Amino acid sequence: MTLKIEVTDDRDTCFALRHTVFVEEQGVPIEEEIDQLDKVATHILATADGVPTGAARIVFDAETAKIGRVCVLPKGRGTGMGVALIQKGVEIARAKPGVTKVKLGAQIHALGFYEKLGFQAYGPVYDDAGIDHRDMVLELA
């Protein structure tokens, strides 16, 4: 499998992947999936052998880069695509002048995944679109 992760202007493909994972698979209300932040976000697309299979977005706010809407289709899970998406997001954040930390809201079942990538959980568990989440942060050196 040839994996490619890159910044994209093809938001429609990212939205379609997110719809499949979040709306169809996880039951997130469709009206909560796409929001105003998508207009200002940096979108990342992952392809496996040229086929769109995963996506994420980064929203910059002063010294913070927030990675969100991370999704991988079932056929891409367990291949390292999720790790590559997060690593690309962190790489993009590091390249942005003034950014000192990367944050994300992790679904509870994914806390261990993000911890292995250097993120630390903080704060209480909260509901986001009917799914328990917890905030996580990675301080950039």
- The pLDDT confidence band at residue 1, using thresholds 50, 70 and 90, is confident
Give residue for tokens 């706010």: 61
DSSP code at position 28: -
Q: With b meaning 16 or more CB within 10 Å and e meaning fewer, what string describes 74-101?
A: eebeebebbebbbebbbebbeeeeebee
Residue for token digits 């950014």?
A: 99
Q: How far apart are CA 80 and CA 4, in angstroms?
A: 11
Is-above-0.75 flag for pTM? yes
- The three-state DSSP-derived secondary structure of 96-125 is CCCCCEEEEEEEHHHHHHHHHCCCEEEEEE
**CATH node for 3-139:** 3.40.630.30
56-77 per-position pLDDT tens digit: 999 999 999 999 999 999 999 9
Query: CA-to-CA distance for 134 and 121, rounded, in angstroms?
Result: 7
- The 10s digit of each residue's pLDDT in 34-52 is 999 999 999 999 999 999 9
